[in-house]
Every structure is written in C-alpha cells, then in structure tokens.
Amino acid sequence: MGLRRSWWAWALWGWWAFTGLAQDASHLVAMRETVAAGDLYRVSCRVRLEGTLRLPAEKEGTAPTILPFQGNSQIDYVERILEVTAQGEVRRTLRVYEQMTFQRRLGQQEQKSDLRPAARRMVIVRHNQLEVPFSPDGPLLWSEIDRVRTDVFPPALTGLLPSMPVKVGEKWQARREAMVELTDLEKITQGHLVCCLERLIDQDGNRLAQVSLQGTVVGISEDGASRHHLQGFYYFDLDGKLLTYISLEGKQALLDSEEKVVSEVKGQFVMTRQRLRNHDLLSDQAIRGLTLVPNEENTRLLFDEPELGLRFIYPRRWTVRRADARQVVLDEPNGGSILLTLDSPGHAWTAAQYQNHVEQWLAKEKATVHRRGVIRGIAQASGRLEHFQYEVSLRGERLILDYYAYQHPHGSVTLAARIPTTVAKLSEDVALIAQSLRRSRGAAHPPEP
C-alpha cells in the first residue's frame, strides 16, 4: 500500500466552542449541498499513517520482509468549480495548491517530497470516480498525477449526506461514491458505512449538524484485497449548505487469498472546507486566456530524473515501464515501444555509427526493408540530434523503426522506437520525445577523471 492513499489524514485543530441547540426529535433536518460553476472553496487535508508493510520474498522459499512505516501529508489548496453536470456532479475544477507535502519512513529509509512551483496550478477532471489532473502551465510528473489521483475529492463526499431530511438520532447508509472516495477501493464487495445525525449545535451563530459515521467495507484496490474499518464524524453547515469538517480514524488490512491479514495500516484523517467569496488567483481575470479543458498538448507528462541526468516530455498514452542508470523503456497500448539508452560523456554514437549497427541487426534478423531513410539533422536548442527511419517486415509484422541519436556534453542518448504501421502516427510522439531530450550531469554518471 502506498502512503499516498490519503483518505486517512490527521491534523491538530483548535478547540471549537459549541453551544447545543434545542433538540426537537420530531424536527426534520435537510442536509444537501448546492454547487455551481464559479463557486470557490478553500480545502485543507492532513494525513497521519502508521503500520507495517510486507514486502515480497527476495528468493523462493525465504520469508517475506516486514517493515514498519510512518507517513504524513499536508495538502492545502483553493479551488474553483469549472463544470457541473445537470445532475449536480462536479466534473472539472481548477486548483491552486498552497502546499502539498508528503513524508514517509519505511524501515530506515526516509523520503520527503513537495510539489514543484511549476505544478501549483492544476485542472482536476473527474472521470469514473478518479481525479485526472493536468496543468495549464506545463507537463506534470507522473508522481504529481498520482498524488492528486489518490487524494480525496471533496465534492464526492456529499455521498455521506442523507438523500432525505432526517431527525436527530436517525441513521442512513452512505452512498457508494463516498465509500469509494474514502477507501480508494476500485470495487466494493461487501460492507457499508452507517451515518447518524447525533445533534444540532451552534458555533458562533452558525447552525451545524453533527453526524457520526462508522462501518467496515471490503473490496479490491490496486494493492489487492483490502478491508477498511472507519469511524468518525463530520459537521454540515445548515445555513451555508456545506460539509465543512470531517474527522476519521481508520484501519486498512491487506488480505491474502485466504483473507488473512498480511499488512495493516492505521491512520487519521481531517479535512476542513469553506466557501470563499473571491480569490485573486482564481478570479475571472486571473484565468482568462488559460486552456482549462484537456487536449493533446496540455496533458503531456514530464520525465525528469536528476539522478539519471535525463529529462524529456511524452504523451500521456505512453507509460514508462523501466528507468535505470542505463536504459529507459516506454510502451503504449497499440504495440508501440521506445528504448532510450544512456551513455556517459565520451561514449556517444554518431548517427552513422548507429545506423551501421542497425543495418547489421536487420541483416541478422533477415528483415525485409521496404524503405530506408537517410540521416538528417534536426535543429535542437540543446545538444545535437540526428534521425533516420526504416519501414520493414520483421517476424510477420509490418513496422516503422525510428532511430534518433542525441549528443550532449553531459552524455548521449540513443533512441530506438518500434511502431506498427497500423498506428504510424505514433512516429509523431517519438519525434516529440526525441526533440525534448535533455541531459545533465546526473549521479549515475559522475565526472570522469
């Protein structure tokens, strides 16, 4: 289980002076949020986790490694609603993050990460109960997307509210969308969360409904079979028609095929939320001219690994499958694949050397060459980039083979791409990746003596 499963959170919060309102057992209380495009909110979430993780055995027959871990996260942002469906579901928002910090300790290893300033502003697209972000200011790292993807989406928590007015002491079940949001389960197989209107209170003249919730939910997550037990409470502002505060304690158990617990995590979660009348960074003037709907350009991803000394941009349909000091491998669902090979300074191949190597390989593989491109240079702001291409029949498949040689004082990169001719347009993706290549002096290649 990753520490970014941030439905669990924790925060130190000040004492609120509550005054109990007269409790009329026959009085019906309506709790329903209303939302419209242009609405502004401030949201703050805190997470604290602790537990154990069982790592797979390194060798067959050996015992798995069990490591203790602790983690916490702090997320603060302001948000503007951009799109709401006719059914009142929020589909798209614009966030400006003020803080997104993650810390964890796994065994003796400690990690800390903060959001890059270039990624502070994100559009969040809600799709099939997942948050898919992009930034109008530039490509995002996959890690940044993953943090947002697993964060709580506050509008989905309206599934904790009753569908009809209720009385003090009355109970109801939370809807599926709220349970999925709080557990990060992809599929719920059993269990439910029960909510109960406990009392009505007054806080500085604002009428609040205090609602408890608890229950156990079992299902499947990307980590496998999981069982979640949750208990806590939330406050609903009856005058502002807004879920303003939620506090939860939870326990997640990862289960094996026999439903035995293999790892367990305990955590605490607190979220505060308030409406804003205005905010300079989210005003009509501030967002005028921004592209706030996803397109081919603004959904691109950034690969940036200082340890490898490598940086490039790639379309979101591609996935980085492996990245080490020597090679980076990408693929995409239609059969395209890219291999980037990193060389240290002084060991660069020219395009002519690279093409000679490819010719020998094609002859060895007995490929039929239908088209053989010539080497051509490509204007590049950083380093030297050369390209050549083949169209071949190889092992019963018609392919485009794309090759690039990139040379830079800090190191070179050779790129080899395999593209089925049925998706020839993927060559445009390969060109984008090649032309965005940048090398730096990474830890993987220390300065030569």
- Summarised one tens digit per residue, pLDDT across range 279-304 is 999 999 999 999 999 999 999 999 99
The whole-angstrom distance between residue 5's C-alpha and the CA centroid of its chain comes to 10
- Per-residue pLDDT reduced to its tens digit, 218-234: 999 887 899 999 999 99
Q: Which residue matches tokens 């050779």?
A: 414
Residue holding tokens 């109008």? 136
Cα–Cα distance for residue pair 184/160, rounded to 1 Å: 15
The pair of structure tokens assigned to 447 is 């300065």
Q: Are 344 and 310 in contact (CB under 8 A)?
A: no
- The pTM score is 0.86
- Ordered structural domains, the chain, with CATH: 19-287 (2.30.230), 301-439 (3.40.1000.10)
Q: 437 near 406, Cβ under 8 Å?
A: yes
Strand, coil or helix: 287: helix
Residue among 340, 339, 413, 400 at smallest CA distance from 373: 400
pLDDT averaged over the chain? 89
For the segment 64-88, what is each residue's pLDDT rounded down to a tens digit? 778 888 999 999 999 999 999 998 9
- Residue 185 burial (CB count, 10 A): 25
Beta strands in 21-89 (DSSP E): 40-55, 65-84
Amino acid present at 263: S
pLDDT digits 0-9 by tens, 340-398 = 999 877 778 889 999 999 999 999 999 999 999 999 999 877 889 999 999 999 999 99
What is the DSSP-derived secondary structure letter of residue 166? Answer: B
Share of the chain above pLDDT 70, in %: 91
Using the predicted structure, report yes or no on whether residue 12 has a pLDDT greater than 60. Answer: no
